[in-house]
Amino acid sequence: MTGEYIDSHAHFDKFAAKGLVEEVLARAADAGVTRIIAVGGNAESNRLVASLAARHPETLHVAVGFDRDQAERPNDLQALTEQLALPSVVAVGEIGLDYHYHPETAAIQKRLLREQLDIAAALGLPVIIHSREADEDTLELLRAYVGNWPRPDRSPGVLHCFTGTPAFAGQVLELGFMVSFSGILTFNQAGQVREAARMIPLERLMIETDCPYLAPVPHRGKQNEPAWVVCVAEKLAELHGCPVQKIAGITTRNALDFFGKRAINESEQKTIVADDAFRKGTGHDN
């Protein structure tokens, strides 16, 4: 084990369907991955991650939201607002625009993203953003959101599974966002992604698996899982010319700061209390 890691983005639908949740969490713990953000993205996944986090409150923290055009019924956003009040919830996500497969739903996707950004800003909960072939529209909506973000001491969001250009990374950083890298960083053809990763200051970086997809080298072709976030950290260490222990420490600290201090360390109890008081102040009732 080379340190403590947080996988800032994992999907559990496949693990749950195959009965693999316990063994996946055990392998993560063995690899030093002490906390995992289990992300939703549609009604079913949102319910799943909330129930898993209730069973594993130390390890699993949760983001819920409706990705792309995944809200199906008009009352979905009402249900989302109720779920966002759960104590395990640390972010709204994943949400965002993806024009790769369904550019014809762009207007619906944008409306849904805007509505959820409004909810996140009202609650002071950061967002986990997905953007694929939609970077201009994403930036436009994020600029409006950042203008409404009520917590100048905290980052308003993370651009997850970053695959954009260094220029896009620069624009995202200007908005105060964090940038999270997945196993794509280890892929042969991902030179541009590595270039972006090299220019991002360490204090703005997080790491993720986006499992069960995108298994990193040397596990390509297998079902990805949180334990392998260590491979992403190793690649970042190589790109930044530092030991992996340093990347582990910094990205863990970044994720703790970003997702809030709830359920973190005994020594941070005071911060937890302050954080909860703030959440109550914004109407986010724990």
Which residue lies nearer to Zn ion by CB, 134 or 244? 134
Tokens 């200007």 belong to residue: 174
Segment lying near Zn ion (by CB under 5 A), choices 43-51, 90-98, 114-122, 220-228: 90-98
Near Zn ion by CB under 5 A: residue from 7, 210, 225, 234: 210
CB of 273 to Zn ion, least distance (A): 32
Of the pair 94, 135, the CB lying nearest Zn ion is at 94
> C-beta of 271: minimal distance to Zn ion in Å?
28
Q: How far is the CB of 161 from Zn ion (least distance, A)?
A: 6
Pairing of strands 157-159, 178-181: parallel
Among the residue ranges 14-22, 101-109, 204-212, 226-234, the one whose residues contact Zn ion (CB under 5 A)? 204-212
Smallest distance, Å, CB 212 to Zn ion? 10
- Nearest approach, Cβ of residue 121 and Zn ion (Å): 22
Measured from each CB, the residue nearest to Zn ion is 210
Residue number, 94 or 234, with CB nearest to Zn ion: 94
Classified as helix, coil or strand, 223 is coil
Question: At 40, which amino acid appears?
Answer: G
User: Does residue number 7 form part of the binding site for Zn ion (CB under 5 A)?
Assistant: no
CB 131 within 8 A of CB 169: no
Stretch that binds Zn ion, among 29-37, 92-100, 132-140, 268-276 (CB under 5 A): 92-100
Q: Which stretch binds Zn ion (CB under 5 A): 16-24, 94-102, 195-203, 266-274?
A: 94-102
Question: Nearest distance from residue 211's CB to Zn ion, in Å?
Answer: 9
Report, in Å, the least distance between residue 65 CB and Zn ion.
11
Full DSSP string of 31-76: TTEEEEEEE--SHHHHHHHHHHHHH-TTTEEEEE---TT---STTH
d(CA 60, CA 56): 6
The DSSP secondary structure of 148-202, one letter per residue, reads H---TTS--EEE-S--S-HHHHHHHHHTT-EEEE-GGGGSTT-HHHHHHHHHS-G
Quick check: helix, strand or coil at residue 206?
strand
The set of residues, in sequence order, having a beta carbon less than 8 Å from that of 217 and lying 6+ positions away, is 183, 186, 187, 231
Secondary element (H or E) of residue 109: helix 106-123
Stretch that binds Zn ion, among 22-30, 101-109, 203-211, 276-284 (CB under 5 A): 203-211
Is there binding between residue 67 and Zn ion (CB under 5 A)? no
Tell which residue, 49, 32, 31, has the closest CA to residue 40: 49
Binding part of the chain for Zn ion, among 89-97, 149-157, 225-233, 256-264 by CB under 5 A, reads: 89-97
Q: How far is the CB of 284 from Zn ion (least distance, A)?
A: 24
Do the Cβ atoms of 233 and 35 come closer than 8 Å?
A: no
Residue (94 or 225) nearer to Zn ion, CB: 94
What is the binding site for Zn ion (CB under 5 A)?
Answer: 94, 210
